[in-house]
Amino acid sequence: MRINHNIAALNTYRQLNSASTAQGKSMEKLSSGLRINKAGDDAAGLAISEKMRGQIRGLDMAAKNAQDGISLISTAEGALNETHDILQRMRELANQSANGTSTDADRTAMQDELNQLTSEINRIGNTTEFNTQKLLNGGIGSNAGEKITKATQASVTGATVGTGELAIGAGAKITVDGKTFDVGALTVGTDKSVGFDAATADLATKTTAYDTAKATSDAPGATQAQIDATAAALADKEAAEATLAGENDNSTAAQNATELATKLGELTSGGVKLSELVDIKVDTDKLVFTAKSSGSTSEVKVSGNATEATKLGFDVTATTSSSTGQPSTIERAGIEGTTTLGASTDNTIVANSTFKLTVGNESAVDVTLKEGKVYDTNNTDSNVAKSAMNDLVKDLNASLQEAGLSDKVTASLSADNKVQFVSESGKDIKLTDGTGGPLAAVGFTGTETVGNIEQVTGPGAQGSGYNTKFQIGANTGQSMSLNIQDMRSAALGITGNAGQAGFTASNSVTNGTNDIKGEAALNISNKEDASKSISIIDKAIASVSSERGKLGAVQNRLEHTINNLGTSSENLTAAESRIRDVDMAKEMMNQTKNSILSQAAQAMLAQANQQPQGVLQLLR
């Protein structure tokens, strides 16, 4: 017998530890309900189940994202529903105004209502937002509180016109907003001063009376009364001389200018009077033509025969004979290019050219213009050139959106056709040209710094659309894009520049959030324009219908997306459960077995510990 090593006790102790450990694991699994509580339980199973858990939680969050997307779409679609109702009412007003039974007073009231409805469409577009993001203003940041400069009218002032009779021959032309009026043969200043002849005759009479009285008073024996009569006659003669001195047989420059203003206002072109498009005023002795329209399309120009135009006070070779209005602008923080687009040649962007843009203290972001293009900005047709410039700005904005900067920086075109980068947050921005030199290609020299710039607003300042992405999957790249076009009045085509054909003569529409009238509404103050307005409003209704239809389609898709995400999450959860969760019945069976083994081991250990005591019997 050996007493230094109790082999039976050691074996029983090992078995007890094993049974106790197994029982502890079973109790852990039964108390948590999980088969894998730590990596040691099943390393491979833990790794697989954790990946599944990431997918499950990602799918659940994607479903929430889709729900938020539906909420965003519902917000935009609800606002457009009201825009639809407003446009339908505007169509009713235009239809009513086009009817011959309506009076001018009726049409004035209808025009007032239409102006207000148009401003309300602007308000809806400028203020509809979801989680502080503007949805219907074309992606342009809020301009609340910014310094606004109202649009100006084109105006030209001539030199002093001639005095006396002015015979103006045919040949001079006056162009207002693209409509030309031919100045025919005009004569002004004929016998303009009627008082001169009367003063001359009166002086002759008074002179004769004085001569007669003087002859009498100079004769010997003249009485005091005769002397007094001579003195009175002299006073009358001197008064008549003073009156005649104040008269001029030739009409003055001021008189001629006033008569010219009246006669020029009666000139017609296609049944339209010049006075309907331009205010003709007299500045002392000069003619002043001021267009009733405003903004960048407002234009006044005196041209044609140089000799005849000079008689009107204008030098057709001088820049002062033509003028263009300026659009409404807002003071913003940003950087403006140095060179005007199309100044000397077309602007060319190289494919895959890049530049860096830094906002505030953030890291620089690479902006890539993937498509190479030649923009016809130097075309002799100003309309074609302007369209090319707008295309270039839209492409710049598309690149900024793709780089994830559309909510921080937007590109725009200044009133003098220079490219601007506007800081939507007001933070400083920095531009650095890169591969292909796209910034140099659009007029930047590299020396420009951030500062106050004037961003064009009103008609022609539409945004490129609100763009966003919905993360509708558990993994990278599983997203869908949404674009909502500019739904304000200018983008719908129901506002324009003051005096523009089909629109009111003066600005009558605000942006809906202030009282500054920066746009002109559709003109329904006469039957002809009211009738034309109906088709314009129909197009606006179609645009809103198209946008609502697109939003509805996306919303329906998101509803199906949510259903699919729910099914995927359910199935993946079941798979993860089979790996991670414990089979309670089986584990209870194991726990019962381990519990019995543990108790039996304890009893046997007690027996094994008693065996060495048998040695004491040998010592008796």
Q: Position 367: which residue type?
A: V
Q: What pLDDT sits at residue 25? A: 84
Q: What pLDDT sits at residue 20? A: 85
* Cα distance between residue 287 and residue 320, in whole Å: 13
Plot region of 360 (φ>0 → left; ψ -120 to 50 → alpha; else → beta) = left
Taking CB atoms within 8 Å and a gap of at least 24, the contacts of 260-269 are 260/161, 260/166, 260/186, 260/188, 260/287, 260/312, 261/287, 263/186, 263/188, 264/174, 264/183, 264/186, 264/312, 267/174, 267/181, 267/182, 267/183, 267/184, 268/181, 269/179, 269/180, 269/181, 269/182
Measured torsion, CA atoms of residues 483, 484, 485, 486, in degrees rounded to the nearest 10: -140
* 46, 39 contact by CB (below 8 A): yes
The DSSP call for residue 613 is G
3-state helix, strand, coil in the chain (%, to 5): 50, 20, 35
Residues 6+ apart with CB under 8 A from 329: 148, 149, 415, 454, 455, 456, 457
546, HSE (Cβ side, Cα atoms, 13 Å) = 12
Q: What pLDDT sits at residue 142? A: 43
- Please give the mean pLDDT across all residues of the chain: 87
Q: Would you place residue 141 in the very low, low, confident or very high pLDDT band (cuts 50, 70, 90)? A: low
Q: How much of the chain exceeds pLDDT 90, in percent?
A: 44
Q: What pLDDT sits at residue 151? A: 73
Q: Which of 38-52, 310-324, 545-559 has the highest mean pLDDT?
A: 545-559
* Cα distance between residue 439 and residue 335, in whole Å: 12
The DSSP call for residue 408 is T
Q: Would you place residue 21 in the very low, low, confident or very high pLDDT band (cuts 50, 70, 90)? A: confident
569-592 residue pLDDT tens: 999 999 988 888 888 888 888 888
Residue 241 reports pLDDT greater than 90: no
* Cα distance between residue 550 and residue 83, in whole Å: 16
Q: What pLDDT sits at residue 506? A: 81
Please, what's the b/e burial string for 226-239 (b: 16 or more CB within 10 A of its CB; e: otherwise)?
A: eeebbeebeebbee
Nearest to 402 by CA among 445, 424, 370, 376: 370
CATH number of 155-190+251-324: 2.60.40
Q: What pLDDT sits at residue 45? A: 86
* Cα distance between residue 512 and residue 526, in whole Å: 26
Nearest to 188 by CA among 279, 282, 275: 282
Radius of gyration of the chain (CA): 46
Q: What pLDDT sits at residue 147? A: 64
Query: DSSP assignment of 493-514, as one string?
Result: T-EE-TTSTTB-SS--B--SSS
Distance (Å) of CA 85 to CA 65, 82, 555, 574: 30, 5, 21, 49
437-479 residue pLDDT tens: 999 999 999 899 999 998 886 554 555 578 888 999 999 888 8
61-107 residue pLDDT tens: 999 999 999 999 999 999 999 999 999 999 999 999 999 999 999 99
Residue whose token pair is 């008609």: 459
Q: What pLDDT sits at residue 458? A: 56
Which of the pair, 421 or 514, is modelled with greater confidence? Answer: 421
* Cα distance between residue 280 and residue 374, in whole Å: 43
Q: Would you place residue 248 in the very low, low, confident or very high pLDDT band (cuts 50, 70, 90)? A: low
329-456 shares the fold of 155-190+251-324 = yes
Q: Position 9: which residue type?
A: A
314-368 residue pLDDT tens: 998 888 889 988 887 878 899 999 999 999 899 999 999 999 999 999 999 999 9
A 10 A CB-CB count for 196 gives 17
Q: What pLDDT sits at residue 143? A: 43
Lowest mean pLDDT segment, chosen from 208-212, 280-284, 295-299, 455-459 = 455-459
Q: Position 33: which residue type?
A: G
The domain segmentation of the chain, as residue ranges, is 7-65+567-618, 155-190+251-324, 195-245, 329-456
* 509, 489 contact by CB (below 8 A): yes
Which of the pair, 252 or 529, is modelled with greater confidence? Answer: 529
177-226 residue pLDDT tens: 888 999 988 888 755 456 666 777 888 898 999 898 888 888 888 888 88
* Cα distance between residue 430 and residue 434, in whole Å: 13
The pair of structure tokens assigned to 112 is: 């007032």
* Cα distance between residue 34 and residue 48, in whole Å: 15
200, HSE (Cβ side, Cα atoms, 13 Å) = 8
Q: What pLDDT sits at residue 526? A: 92
Q: What pLDDT sits at residue 538? A: 96
Mean pLDDT of 406-412: 87
450 phi and psi angles, rounded to 5 deg: -70, 145
* CATH class of the region 329-456: mainly beta
Residue 394 reports pLDDT greater than 90: no
Q: Position 255: which residue type?
A: Q
* 264, 174 contact by CB (below 8 A): yes
